[in-house]
């Protein structure tokens, strides 16, 4: 199932990027059907990224390592997971705002009203949550590249491509399809064969 998520998560993200471009042809994004469809696609993508995080965690654990390495992997997974949850929350708010708003002005007003919903964490945490997801994902990919049982030179491209993707998207959201394609390539590298996730023999890597 995680192998499917490694491909479907960036594929839905790419689809969202394309719908977003279509939605912005009139100079603004939402509200309307394109906004709703796009954010539904993105919501599905984020849910599947949960499978990606779990899959990377399992693959890294399968390569062995000492207690310190296992703890580090758990921390990175927790950071990525927490960031992902806040990212999902942002997408849900955007969906609700898009459905309720009649025009761009009302969409902006509703977005401000829901900025700290649910009010269980400071608004700043919701704002940096997506960044934590990105950092956690890159950290897991770096850890996997270091511990990969074979083809490290190729696997090492994964975190590099993801960082390039995030930089590209940050510079211009209209480049979201290109960024998603880079993530897709990066994750496809991790699933290029089943041996990538096979446990290595005991003692193949020095314990920390």
DSSP 105-126: HHHHHHHHHTTT-STTS-HHHH
C-beta of residue 143 within 8 angstroms of C-beta of residue 60: yes
Tokens of 17: 């990027």
For the entire predicted model, the pTM comes to 0.86
- The string of pLDDT tens digits covering residues 33-80 is 999 999 999 999 999 999 999 999 998 888 777 788 889 999 999 999
Confidence bin at 150 (pLDDT 50/70/90): low
């Amino acid at each position: 199932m995680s192998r499917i998520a490694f491909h479907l998560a960036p594929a839905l993200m790419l689809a969202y990027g394309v719908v977003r471009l279509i939605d912005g042809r009139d100079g603004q994004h939402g509200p309307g059907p394109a906004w709703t469809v796009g954010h539904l696609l993105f919501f599905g993508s984020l849910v599947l990224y949960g499978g990606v995080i779990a899959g990377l965690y399992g693959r890294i654990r399968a390569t062995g390592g000492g207690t310190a390495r296992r703890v580090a992997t758990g921390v990175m997974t927790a950071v990525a997971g927490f960031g992902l949850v806040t990212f999902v929350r942002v997408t849900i708010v955007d969906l609700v705002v898009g459905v309720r708003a009649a025009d761009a002005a009302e969409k902006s007003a509703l977005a401000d009203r829901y900025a700290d919903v649910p009010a269980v964490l400071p608004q700043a945490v919701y704002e940096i949550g997506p960044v934590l997801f990105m950092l956690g994902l890159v950290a897991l990919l770096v850890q996997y590249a270091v511990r990969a049982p074979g083809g490290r030179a190729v696997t090492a491209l994964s975190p590099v491509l993801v960082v390039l993707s995030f930089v590209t998207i940050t510079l211009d959201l209209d480049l979201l399809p290109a960024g998603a394609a880079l993530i897709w390539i990066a994750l496809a590298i991790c699933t290029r064969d089943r041996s990538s996730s096979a446990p290595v023999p005991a003692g193949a890597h020095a314990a920390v």
